[in-house]
Amino acid sequence: MTVGYVTIGAEDVEGALPFYDAVLGAVGYERGPLDGGWAFYGKGDTPGVGICKPFDGAPARAGNGIMIAFKADGQEAVRSAHAAGLANGGTDEGQPGYRPAEATSGFYGAYLRDPTGNKLCVYAMS
């Protein structure tokens, strides 16, 4: 089974777009037109990401324990995505670097939260 797409809830979809344009743009995703309250991002055959108000009408909120990770092409893209997210309303959840911190190769990631509080990771493998 493969992930088809991911949906992320936002109270203010248009207000969330600068954050997602910056973060997802830094790792090569492109946004299609806003359609029916949805913003959808894609990157080739990689699973897409939709930003929308929750269907049930309840307030959007971050899922406790849920995190979405976006694979980047390298460490510079990880750093760029993290910085772009912070500059567009996100909050830091872990500076770019290797995990574990003493490693010198392998998993290189950064963590942040979007303006709604959803946790994201941007990472690259080296």
Measured over all CA atoms, what is the biggest interatomic distance in the chain, rounded to whole angstroms? 47
Q: How far apart are CA 51 and CA 34, in angstroms?
A: 10
Domain ranges of the chain: 5-54+62-125
With residues binned 3-state (H G I as helix, E B as strand, rest as coil), the percentages for the chain, rounded to 5, are: 20, 40, 40
Residue with tokens 């990689």: 46
34, 66, 98 from 111: Cα distances, Å = 26, 13, 12
27, 81, 125 from 22: Cα distances, Å = 9, 7, 21
Q: pLDDT 10s per residue in the chain (126 long)?
A: 678 899 999 999 999 999 999 999 999 999 999 888 899 999 998 889 999 999 999 999 988 889 999 999 999 999 999 999 999 999 999 999 999 999 999 999 999 999 999 999 999 998
Among 121, 120, 122, 119, CA closest to 62:
119
Model confidence pTM above 0.85: yes
CATH of 5-54+62-125, picked from 3.10.180.10, 1.10.10.10, 3.40.1160.10, 3.40.50.300, is 3.10.180.10
